[in-house]
């Protein structure tokens, strides 16, 4: 699935999406940005979903996100 997403965003699949105001040579950069955002969302939200699924009682909030980012920052 991830391989197909990378190929789609880089334009190497036969099906391509023409995004207005984005030149064709900028598609790999856009693909990296999109994949980076997806990776960030998965790293931040997937562990909390797994914990909540197995009986965790934590609620996801902006305050928790700010606190966890503050604790992990250097």
Report, as an integer, the average pLDDT of 29-53: 77
Does residue 32 register a pLDDT over 70? Answer: yes
pTM of the full structure: 0.48
C-alpha R_g of the chain: 17
- Domain region containing 21: 2-72
Distances (CA, A) of 9 to 3, 14, 18, 70: 10, 11, 10, 33
pLDDT of residue 56: 64
Query: What is the average pLDDT value for the chain, to the nearest integer?
Result: 74
Q: How confident is the model at residue 46 (pLDDT cuts 50, 70, 90)?
A: confident
Number of Cα atoms under 13 Å in the Cβ half of residue 10: 11
| Number of domains observed in the structure of the chain | 1
- Distance CA(24)–CA(31), nearest Å, equals 11
């Amino acid at each position: 699935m991830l391989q197909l997403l990378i190929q789609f965003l880089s334009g190497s699949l036969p099906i391509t999406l023409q995004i207005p105001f984005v030149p064709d040579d900028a598609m790999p950069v856009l693909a990296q940005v999109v994949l980076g955002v997806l990776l960030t969302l998965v790293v931040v939200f997937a562990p909390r979903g797994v914990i909540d699924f197995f009986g965790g009682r934590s609620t996801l909030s902006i305050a928790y996100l700010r606190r966890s980012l503050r604790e992990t920052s250097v």
